[in-house]
C-alpha cells in the first residue's frame, strides 16, 4: 500500500473529493495545514517595499491506496487540483506496510 | 418646547444603541466571509463609522438638515456643527445631530456587503466620503430634512429609504462595478464563523430598538409602540425565513437571523405608523420576499456578496410600500392613514418615493464607483484577494 | 397618573437590555457545548425568543395579565394586544407588554439547557409554544397578574419564581424525559469555547440591570437600589463559587461567571426589597449552594446539561426564600418586611409560593414533554446526535 | 433639588453601559494575548470587577466620597454604604454610588495589561484590593470627592486622571516589578484573535458614551455635547493611528481601534468642557501620540504588554493637559475656560494635577507591587507561564 | 521503527491515551483531522431526501515505536478505540528510518 | 527522498524557518498538533496535589528533501529548535518514494 499525501489549495478540496469519488475512492483524511513552497510564498507590493507572505493555508489530503490504484489516484488528484498557477501544491508518495480496520480488527496488507 | 430629561435620556440611549449596530454589522458580515477576510470585514465597519463621523460633523449634518435648497439638499449653515447647540426642542440640537450621525455611519457599514473580500482600503475611504455626501446626505434631506419627499408627505419613520434602500441598492451597484470574487460559484465560500454572525445579529436586534423606537424622538407611546412592532416584525421575519429555508433544505440558523433582519428592515419605515397586526404581516412577507431575492441573485450569478441588496434593499423597498399600505390612523392620532384605510394617496406617494430613491441610490452609487474605479481602482490585486485581505490589507491574521 | 418620560425612557431601555440577555444566554450556553452543537445552541435561544414573541402578542400577554380568573390565569380581553394602548400609568401599556415579552422569551431560552445537543427543532417549537402558554403565562399571572400568589402577598420582584424556578425546574423535567446525551460521563464533553461563555456572561450581567432595576417600573430610588444589590449579589456569587471551585480543584473561569449568574438569579426576586448587606449574603450563599447542586447532579448522573436547574432553579428557589427572610421595611417604605425583621408570615408565604411553583413547573413541564415525546419525539436520532446538530439540524458548520 | 426621572433613567443606563466596558476590556485584551492565556485574560477583567464591587460597597465609596480629610481622602461615614439612600439631588445617592462603582471596577481591569499572561490569581486579588484602596479611591477623592485637586479647580470630567492615568501608569509600574514575559521580543507574541479585540473595542466605544455623557450626571445639553465630542475624538483617533500605522507598515485593524480608544481616553477628562473642533484635535493628537508611545516602549524593551500605559496612561495625560488648553467658556456656560481662551491658570492647574497623579499612581503602584512580590510573589512559575494560564491557573482550555 | 497512524473517533481519544499509558507508551502526537471513510460518511434522512455528510471530525494519533512494540501498541489502540460501529477508524503503519531527539541531538535507529 | 517530520515548540517555528532558509530550504508544510512526550507532559503543583498536563501544543514541520540534503536539514532544525529544555521535540525520518508537482505534473524521484 501507499500513502498519498496531496497538499492542495483549499478551494480545490471539493473538486478533488469529487474527482476521487468518480474513480471509486472514498476513504481519506484531511488536514488543515500551512504551506510554504519553493517560491517562498507570495510577495505583496506595498508602498514601494515588498512583503513576503509565506505560510499560506493549504489542505492536505491523505489517502491510503493499494499499489495498483496509486497511479489513477495521483492522476485524479492532479486533474482536479491543477489551476496552472503557483501554489497548486505537491503530492508525495510514501510506503505503507499494513493497515488495520479498528471496527473489525481486520488487517490489510498489500504486496 | 423646552428640553425634557426623559426624552433626552432615551435619545442619548438610542444613540448608543444605534452606534453598537455598526460593530454588529461588522460581526454579522465578518462571520459570513471566509476566514482570511474576517478582520478586514469587521474593520470596514469601524472604518465606515469613523470616516462618516468626521464627514458628518464637518459637512454631512448641514447638507442633510440645513435649510432646504430646492427640495434637494440642505444648506451650509451648520458646517462644522456651527450653531448646533445644547438647547433644543425636547432634546438638545447637538443630540439630534449625534443621533443622526450614528445612522449615517451604520448605512455605509451595511453597504460593505457589496465589496466584501475584495476592496482596496484607500478606495473605500474615498468612496465612503463621496457616497455619504452625494447619496446618504441627500436622501436624509429628502426624507427628514424638509426635502421634496417630506414636502410631498412620504412617510419614512426610521430610515427605510434613507438607510436601507440606499445601502442595499448601493451595495448592488458597487458590486456590479467591482465584479465578482475570484472563484465565485465555483469554490466554497461558506460562512466561516456562524456564531459570530449570530452574535452580530443579536447586537443588531438590540440596537434596532434604539433605531426605530428612538426615531420617535420622544420617550412616549409612539416610541413604545414602535418598539413592540419592531420586535414583532423581527420575530415574524425570522420564523418565515426559517420555514422557507427548511422547505428548501435545512432550517438554517443564518437564515433565521437573516429573516429577523429582513423583518427589522421592513418595519423600519413603518415603525411609528402601524399596529402590531400589520407588523406581523410586514415581517412575514419580508422574510419570504428577501429569501426569494437572495435565491434569485444567486441564480443570476450576482456577487452582491452578503445580501445587503436582498435584505436591506428589497426589505426596505417592501417596508416603504407597506408603510403606505398599513399606516394606521389609530396609531398616528389620525394624522396619517394608508391604503387599507382607504387612502390610496399615501400608498402612491410612498411607493413613488421609494422607487425614486431606488433609482437615485443605484445610479449615483454606480457612477461614483465607476469613477473611483477608473481613477484609483476599487479592487485589490489577484494575489491579495487570494491571500485574503486580513494579511494583504492589514498585515494581520486570525 | 400620566406618562412620565423618564420612567418611559428607563423601561424602554430595560426592555432592550433584557432582550439582549437572550443572545447572551445563547452565547453562554453555546460556549459550553461541544463544537459540533454551538450553532444549534445559539439558534435555540433566538428561536425561543422568536416563537415566544409571536405567542405573547397573540395570547400570552392576555393570559398573564388579563383579568384574573380564579386566581389561576388571566382572561382573554387582551388577545392580539387588543386594548393595549399607547397610554398608561407612568409608562404606556404597550411598553409594559413589551417589557414583559422579553422576560417570557428569555425564560424559554434558559430552559434549553435541559435539552442541549439533542433536541429536534420542530419538537422544540411545539414544546416552546405549549410550555410558554401552560407554564410561563400561568406563573406570570400568579405572581404579577393578580393571581393567587399576588393575592396572598408573595413577593417576587423580578421573576425568581416566574423566570428562574420555572425554567430551572422545567429544564430538569425535560432533561429527564429526553434522556442523557450519548456517552454522558464516559466521553469528554468539556466546554469548547469558554471565551464565548464569558462574553455571554458579560451580556447577561449587563442585561440583568434592566431585568431587575427595570422591574421597579420606574426610574427612581427603588430601581437604583435594585441595581446596586443586583451587582453586589452577582459579584459575591462570582467570588464564592470561584473560591469553592478553587478548593475543589482549580479556580475555574466558567465557575466564576456561573457564580455571578447564581447571584443574579438569587437576587432577582429580592432586588427591590433588600439592602446591600442582605444582597451580599444572598449572593455568597447562591454561589456556594448552586455549586453544590451542580456537583450533586453530576454525582447523580443527571444530564441537565448546562445547569439551568442548579443555577436558575435552585438559585431562584433560594432567592424566593431569601426574599421572605431579608425583605426590609427600610427599602420598601415599610410596606413589607421579612423574617429577620420578625415577620414570619412573609417568609412562609414566599417559601410556600416557591414550593408550589417548583412543583407546578416540574410536573407540568414533565407532562408536556412526555406527551410531545410520544406524539412526535423530542430527540434527534443517534446519527444526528453523533454528527452534531449544527450539521444535522441546520446544515451549517463552524 | 428632587429626583428627576429622566436624569435617573440616563444614569441608570450609563451605569449599565460602563459596566459592560469591563467585559469589553477583557475581550479587547483577550484577543491580544496568545491563545493559551485568553481565558485568564478575560477572567481577570471579571475578577477585577467582582472584587472591586465588594471593596466599593464596603469601604471604597466612603474613602472616595466621604467627607474630605485634609484634601487627601474621604471619611468613613459611608462604610457599608450606610446612609447612602434612595433619595438624592437629581439622582438617588445609591445610584451615584453604583455609577462610581462601575468606574472603579473598570479601572482595575484596564491595569491588567501590565501583568498579562504571567500573574498569579491570588496575588492579583490581594493587589487589586490594596491598589483600589490606596490608589483608585484616593485619586477619585482628589478629583471628585472634594480633595485638593477639586479644591484647586483641576478639571477632570469623566476620569482622565482617576481612571486612565492611574491604570496606565499603574500598569507600567507593576509591569516593571513583575518583569517581562518569557521570550519577550524573541518569540512571536502576536494577537491570537483580532476579531475578539474588535468586538471588545466595539463594546468599549459603546460603553464610553455612558462613561463620558453619563458623567454629566444629567440628561441634558452637556451630556449630549459630551457624547458628540466623545464620538468625534474616537473617530479622529482611529483615523490618525490608522494613517500613522499605514505609513510605518500596513494599516492595522488593531491599530485603528487602539487609536479609537486613545481618542476616547484623551477626550474623557475634557468631554463636558470642549467643543467639537477641540475634540477633533484632541483625538488626532491622541492617536499619533499613543502610537508613538507604543513604538517607544517597544524599542525600550518594556513589556507593559497590552499598552495600557501608552494608550490610557499617556492618552489620559494628554487629555488632562488638553482639557486645560481647550476648555471652552461657551460649553461650560462661562464657568471655565482654558489656555486658548487666555486662561493660563487652568492649563497650569490641570497639567500640575496630571503630573502629581502620574507620580502618585506610578510610585504607589510600584510600592504595592514590590511588597506583594516579596510577600507572596506576583508571578506564576516558569512551567505555568509556558503552558499558559488558561490551563495552569484555571484548568480550562479553549 | 514504525510510525503508527491511528485515526479514531474524537471521543475515544482519552481512552486511547489511557490504554497506551497502561502499556508504557507516552510519546505521541495528535492531529485534529476530517475524515471520510469508505461508507462516504453518514447519510441523514431529511424530508424524504437524503443528505450525505462526509468529512467527519476525527483525531489522528501518531506514535513512533520500536518494531518490537508495534503489535502491542496496535492492540492497545484497537481495544481502546473500538465501539463496533461504523467510523471507528483505521490504523496505518509506515516505516521510519530514524528518529532524533532535538534536546540532546541523540539519534535513535532501530533495525 | 525523505520526509523529515520535526515536532517543535511553537515559539521556535520562526527560527526554524529562518534556519532552513539559510541553507536554501523553502518548501515545507506545517501542522498545529498536540504532543505528549515521554515525560507525560508537565506536572503542575497545585494545593499540595499535582496536576499532569499532557497534550501540549506543538508545531510539526514536514519537509521533503533529497537524500543528500537530509543531514543538513536535520542539523539546521536542531540548531534552530533546541533550547535544552524538556519538550524540545523530535525529528522522525521516513522514506518517500516519489513526489509530484501538481502545477506541472512533473514527477520527481530520487534514488
Ligand atoms: N519540500 C517540501 N516539503 C514539504 N512540503 C512542501 C514542499 N514543497 C512544497 N510543499 C508544500 O506544497 C505546497 C505548494 O508548494 P509550491 O512550491 O507553492 O507548489 P507549486 O510549485 O506546485 O506551485 C506548499 O505550500 C507546501 O505546503
Ligand atoms: N483509504 C483511506 N485513506 C486515508 N484515510 C482513511 C481511509 N479510509 C478511512 N480513512 C480514515 O479512517 C476514518 C474511518 O474510516 P471508516 O471507513 O469510517 O472506518 P470503519 O470502516 O472502520 O468504520 C475515516 O474518517 C478516515 O479519516
Ligand atoms: N514516540 C513518539 N511518537 C510520536 N510523537 C512523539 C513521540 N515522542 C515524542 N513525540 C512528540 O515530540 C514532542 C516532544 O517530546 P518530548 O519527549 O517532550 O521531547 P524531549 O524528550 O526532546 O523533551 C511531543 O510533544 C510529541 O509531540
The CA-atom distances, in angstroms, between C186 and each of A52, C189, C301, C389, E15 are 48, 9, 11, 20, 9
Q: C-alpha grid cell for residue B306?
A: 452578503
Q: Which residues contact B174 (CB under 8 A, 6 or more apart)?
A: B111, B114, B115, B127, B365, B366, B369, B378
Alpha carbon distance B211, B159 (integer Å): 9
Mind telling me how many Å the CA of F4 is from chain D's nearest CA? 24
The pLDDT, as a whole number, for residue D249 is 81
Of D206, D16, D227, which is closest to residue D105 (Cα–Cα)? D16
Alpha carbon distance B342, B345 (integer Å): 9
Which of A11, A56, A57 has its CB closest to that of B188? A11
For E2-108, CATH gives 3.30.70.120
Residues of chain B with pLDDT below 70 are: 1
Predicted confidence (pLDDT) per residue in B17-27, tens digit: 999 999 999 99
* pLDDT(A105) > 70: yes
Between the CA of F28 and the centroid of ligand 1 the distance, in Å, is 6
The pLDDT, as a whole number, for residue F38 is 76
* pLDDT(C338) > 70: yes
Alpha carbon distance C357, C140 (integer Å): 11
Of B284, B359, B293, which is closest to residue B322 (Cα–Cα)? B284
Domain D5-394 has CATH 1.10.3430.10: yes
Mind telling me how many Å the CA of F102 is from chain A's nearest CA? 5
Q: Which 3 state secondary structure label does DSSP give B142?
A: helix
Alpha carbon distance B156, B158 (integer Å): 6
Quickly count: other Cβ atoms within 10 Å of residue F15's Cβ: 17
Of B181, B202, B210, B219, which is closest to residue B306 (Cα–Cα)? B181
Task: List beta partners, residue F100.
Answer: A91, F107
The pLDDT, as a whole number, for residue B314 is 98
Nearest CA to ligand 3 atom 17: F37
Between the CA of F64 and the centroid of ligand 1 the distance, in Å, is 9
Predicted confidence (pLDDT) per residue in D259-298, tens digit: 999 999 999 999 999 999 999 999 999 999 999 999 999 9
Question: Band of the pLDDT at C248, cuts 50, 70, 90?
Answer: confident
Residues of chain F with pLDDT below 70 are: 41, 45-50, 111
| Strand runs labelled E in chain D | 68-69, 73-74
ipTM higher than 0.95? yes
The pLDDT, as a whole number, for residue A53 is 79
Between the CA of E28 and the centroid of ligand 3 the distance, in Å, is 6
- Decide: B and F in contact? Rule: 3+ Cβ pairs under 8 Å: no
Nearest CA to ligand 2 atom 25: E35
Alpha carbon distance C162, C125 (integer Å): 20
pLDDT-above-70 percentage for chain C: 100
Spatial contact of D17 and D207, defined as CB atoms under 8 Å apart: yes
Predicted confidence (pLDDT) per residue in D214-254, tens digit: 999 999 999 999 999 999 999 999 999 999 999 888 899 99
Considering every ligand atom, which ligand is closest to the CA of E73? 3
* pLDDT(E47) > 70: no
* Strand-pair category, E49-53 with F49-53: unpaired
The pLDDT, as a whole number, for residue F87 is 87
Residue B83, CA atoms < 13 Å, CB-side half-sphere: 11
* pLDDT(A49) > 70: no
Mind telling me how many Å the CA of E48 is from chain A's nearest CA? 24
Question: Band of the pLDDT at C267, cuts 50, 70, 90?
Answer: very high
Alpha carbon distance C162, C144 (integer Å): 9
In a 10 Å sphere around its CB, with 0-12 CB exposed, 13-18 middle and 19+ buried, how is residue C190 labelled? exposed
Residue D206, phi-psi category: left (phi > 0), alpha (psi -120 to 50), beta (remainder): alpha
pLDDT-above-90 percentage for chain C: 97
Mind telling me how many Å the CA of A55 is from chain F's nearest CA? 8
The pLDDT, as a whole number, for residue F46 is 63
* pLDDT(C83) > 80: yes
> Would the CB atoms of D387 and F13 count as touching at under 8 Å?
no
Which of B198, B218, B276 has its CB closest to that of C46? B198
Q: How many residues does chain B have?
A: 398
**Mean pLDDT, residues E33-58:** 77
Between the CA of A62 and the centroid of ligand 2 the distance, in Å, is 10
Nearest residue on chain E to B248, judged by CA atoms?
Answer: E47
Alpha carbon distance D289, D146 (integer Å): 31
Q: Is F37 in the pocket of ligand 3 (CB under 6 A)?
A: yes
Nearest CA to ligand 3 atom 2: E27
pLDDT in tens, chain D (398 residues): 689 999 999 999 999 999 999 999 999 999 999 999 999 999 999 999 999 999 999 999 999 999 999 999 999 999 999 999 999 999 999 999 999 999 999 999 999 999 999 999 999 999 999 999 999 999 999 999 999 999 999 999 999 999 999 999 999 999 999 999 999 999 989 999 999 999 999 999 999 999 999 999 999 999 999 999 999 999 999 999 999 999 888 899 999 999 999 999 999 999 999 999 999 999 999 999 999 999 999 999 999 999 999 999 999 999 999 999 999 999 999 999 999 999 999 999 999 999 999 999 999 999 999 999 999 999 999 999 999 999 999 999 98
Q: What pTM, to 2 d.p., does this model score? A: 0.97
Q: Which 3 state secondary structure label does DSSP give C234?
A: helix
Nearest CA to ligand 2 atom 8: A27
Domain ranges for chain E: 2-108
Q: Is F102 in the pocket of ligand 1 (CB under 6 A)?
A: yes
Nearest residue on chain A to B382, judged by CA atoms?
Answer: A44
Amino acid at each position: 500500500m501507499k500513502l498519498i499525501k496531496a497538499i492542495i489549495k483549499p478551494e480545490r478540496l471539493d473538486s478533488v473529493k469529487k474527482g476521487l469519488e468518480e474513480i471509486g475512492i472514498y476513504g481519506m483524511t484531511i488536514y488543515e495545514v500551512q504551506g510554504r513552497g519553493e517560491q517562498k510564498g507570495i510577495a505583496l507590493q506595498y508602498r514601494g517595499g515588498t512583503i513576503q507572505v509565506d505560510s499560506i493555508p493549504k489542505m492536505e489530503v491523505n489517502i491510503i491506496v493499494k499499489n495498483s490504484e496509486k497511479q489513477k489516484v495521483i492522476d485524479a488528484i492532479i486533474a482536479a487540483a491543477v489551476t496552472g498557477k503557483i501554489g497548486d501544491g505537491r503530492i508525495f508518495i510514501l510506503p505503507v506496510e499494513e493497515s488495520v480496520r479498528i471496527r473489525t480488527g481486520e488487517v490489510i496488507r498489500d504486496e | 418646547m423646552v428640553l425634557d430629561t426623559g426624552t433626552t435620556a432615551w435619545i442619548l440611549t438610542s444613540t448608543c444603541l444605534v452606534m453598537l449596530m455598526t460593530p454588529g454589522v461588522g460581526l454579522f458580515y465578518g462571520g459570513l466571509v471566509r476566514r482570511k477576510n474576517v478582520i478586514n470585514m469587521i474593520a470596514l465597519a469601524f472604518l465606515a463609522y469613523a470616516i462618516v463621523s468626521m464627514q458628518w460633523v464637518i459637512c454631512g449634518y448641514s447638507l442633510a438638515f440645513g435649510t432646504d435648497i430646492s427640495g434637494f439638499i440642505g444648506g451650509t449653515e451648520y458646517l462644522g456643527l456651527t450653531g448646533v447647540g445644547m438647547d433644543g426642542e425636547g432634546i438638545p440640537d447637538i443630540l439630534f445631530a449625534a443621533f443622526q450621525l450614528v445612522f449615517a455611519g451604520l448605512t455605509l457599514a451595511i453597504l460593505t456587503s457589496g465589496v466584501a473580500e475584495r476592496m482596496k482600503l484607500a478606495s473605500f475611504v474615498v468612496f465612503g466620503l463621496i457616497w455619504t455626501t452625494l447619496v446618504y446626505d441627500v436622501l436624509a434631506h429628502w426624507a427628514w430634512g424638509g426635502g421634496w419627499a417630506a414636502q410631498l408627505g412620504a412617510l419614512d419613520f426610521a430610515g427605510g429609504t434613507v438607510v436601507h434602500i440606499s445601502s442595499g441598492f448601493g451595495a448592488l451597484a458597487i458590486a456590479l462595478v467591482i465584479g465578482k470574487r475570484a472563484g465565485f460559484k465555483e469554490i466554497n465560500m461558506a460562512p466561516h464563523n456562524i456564531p459570530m454572525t449570530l452574535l452580530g445579529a443579536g447586537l443588531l436586534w438590540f440596537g434596532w430598538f434604539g433605531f426605530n423606537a428612538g426615531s420617535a424622538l420622544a420617550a412616549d407611546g409612539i416610541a413604545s409602540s414602535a418598539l413592540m412592532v419592531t420586535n414583532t416584525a423581527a420575530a415574524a421575519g425570522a420564523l418565515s425565513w426559517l420555514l422557507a429555508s427548511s422547505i428548501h433544505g435545512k432550517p438554517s440558523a443564518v437564515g433565521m437571523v437573516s429573516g429577523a433582519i429582513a423583518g427589522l428592515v421592513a418595519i423600519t419605515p413603518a415603525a411609528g405608523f402601524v399596529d402590531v397586526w400589520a407588523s406581523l404581516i410586514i415581517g412575514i412577507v419580508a422574510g419570504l420576499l428577501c429569501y426569494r431575492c437572495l435565491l434569485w441573485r444567486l441564480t443570476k450569478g450576482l456577487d452582491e456578496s452578503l445580501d445587503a441588496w436582498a435584505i436591506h434593499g428589497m426589505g426596505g423597498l417592501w417596508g416603504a410600500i407597506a408603510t403606505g399600505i398599513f399606516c394606521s390612523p389609530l396609531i398616528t392620532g389620525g394624522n396619517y392613514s394608508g391604503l387599507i384605510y382607504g387612502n390610496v394617496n399615501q400608498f402612491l406617494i410612498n411607493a413613488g418615493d421609494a422607487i425614486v430613491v431606488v433609482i437615485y441610490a443605484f445610479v449615483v452609487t454606480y457612477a461614483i464607483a465607476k469613477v473611483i474605479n477608473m481613477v484609483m481602482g476599487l479592487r485589490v490585486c489577484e494575489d491579495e484577494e487570494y491571500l485574503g485581505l486580513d494579511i494583504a490589507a492589514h498585515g494581520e491574521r486570525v
